[in-house]
């Protein structure tokens, strides 16, 4: 497992270039369960970053549709989705090692075989490893909203990102987002409504009810008990 989740870029003088990131890599301690899973399951379910495109048929040993989830946290809902949808393949990307370890441990316990995980910057994976038109769905659930106005530029959902996701989706594929921060939901809706080559799946032109394909997390259920809202957005690639 590669620990460096960000490949450095250099300028003409050989100095490392600073890039705006949509995440902060928190250094959390691994539990024994997480560490054991990283050691025992990485060879079967983990994928190291290399700058060459996936052959998904080889990676999963089948031709099933591929669903990509960016930032899966501890992996609870991702493992549930993979378990409930054996006719689909799931690729999860997360930059925090404890979450990757927890996801691998849960996948092993649930006997999930249609899941692969990476511990790397999703933008680099999209740029270097995901073939154009190869995904049936991209999932981005509860990304960091970067509440302060001066940090809004760090939000991952921006026009260039929407264009990048569209290029990786097959025509008819769906970009599914969810957030519990209403200003970010409004921001997402604005960005996606102005992005070329998408159609909003919502019949009302804004948000969709939580689809059954997205399991509720404990965090989400707790927020609902406290009166917090959750906004789901689904945009289909049309061309």
User: Is 82:91 a contact under the CB 8 Å cutoff?
Assistant: no
Q: Does residue 31 have a known ligand-binding role? A: no
Q: Cα(49)–Cα(152) distance, rounded to whole angstroms?
A: 28
69 forms beta bridges with: 92, 139
Q: Does residue 220 have a known ligand-binding role? A: yes
Dihedral angle over CA of 123, 129, 134, 135, nearest 10: -40
Q: Cα(142)–Cα(238) distance, rounded to whole angstroms?
A: 25
Token output for 236 = 């289909």
Q: From the centroid of its chain, how far is CA 206?
A: 21
Beta strands (DSSP E) in 62-185 are 66-70, 89-93, 115-118, 135-141, 169-179
Q: Does residue 121 have a known ligand-binding role? A: yes
Q: Does residue 124 have a known ligand-binding role? A: no
Q: Does residue 69 have a known ligand-binding role? A: yes
Helices then strands, each counted (H, E), the chain: 8, 7
Q: Does residue 217 have a known ligand-binding role? A: yes
Place of tokens 């200003």: 183
Q: Does residue 180 have a known ligand-binding role? A: yes
144 catalytically annotated: yes
For residue 22, the SS3 value is coil
Q: Cα(47)–Cα(53) distance, rounded to whole angstroms?
A: 12
Q: Does residue 12 have a known ligand-binding role? A: no
Q: Which of 81, 97, 98 is nearest to 89 (CA)?
A: 81
User: Is 59:131 a contact under the CB 8 Å cutoff?
Assistant: no
Q: Does residue 148 have a known ligand-binding role? A: yes
Token output for 193 = 């409504």
Catalytic residue among 36, 48, 87, 144: 144
Question: Which residues are annotated binding-site positions for substrate?
Answer: 148, 180, 217-220
Binding-site residues from annotation for S-adenosyl-L-methionine: 69, 94, 121, 144
Binding-site residues, in ranges, read 69, 94, 121, 144, 148, 180, 217-220
Provide the annotated active-site residues: 144
């Amino acid at each position: 497992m590669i620990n460096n989740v960000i490949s450095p870029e250099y300028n003409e003088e050989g100095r490392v270039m600073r890039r705006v990131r949509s995440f902060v890599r928190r250094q959390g301690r691994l539990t024994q369960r997480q560490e054991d899973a990283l050691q025992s399951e990485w060879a079967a379910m983990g994928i190291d970053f290399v700058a060459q495109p996936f052959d998904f048929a080889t990676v999963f040993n089948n031709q099933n549709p591929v669903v990509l989830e960016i930032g899966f946290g501890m992996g609870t809902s991702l493992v549930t989705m993979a378990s409930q949808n054996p006719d689909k393949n799931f690729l999860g990307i997360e930059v925090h090692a404890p979450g990757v370890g927890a996801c691998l441990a849960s996948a092993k316990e649930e006997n999930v075989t249609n899941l692969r995980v990476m511990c790397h910057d999703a933008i680099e994976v999209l740029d270097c490893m995901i073939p154009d038109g190869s995904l049936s769905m991209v999932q981005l659930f509860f990304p960091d909203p970067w509440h302060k106005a001066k940090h809004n530029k760090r939000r991952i959902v921006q026009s260039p990102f929407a264009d990048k996701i569209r290029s990786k989706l097959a025509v008819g594929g769906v970009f599914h987002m969810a957030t519990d921060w209403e200003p970010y939901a409004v921001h997402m809706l604005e960005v996606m409504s102005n992005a070329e080559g998408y159609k909003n799946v919502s019949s009302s032109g804004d948000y969709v009810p939580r689809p059954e394909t997205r399991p509720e997390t404990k965090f989400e259920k707790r927020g609902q008990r406290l009166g917090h809202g959750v906004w789901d957005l689904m945009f289909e690639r049309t061309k």
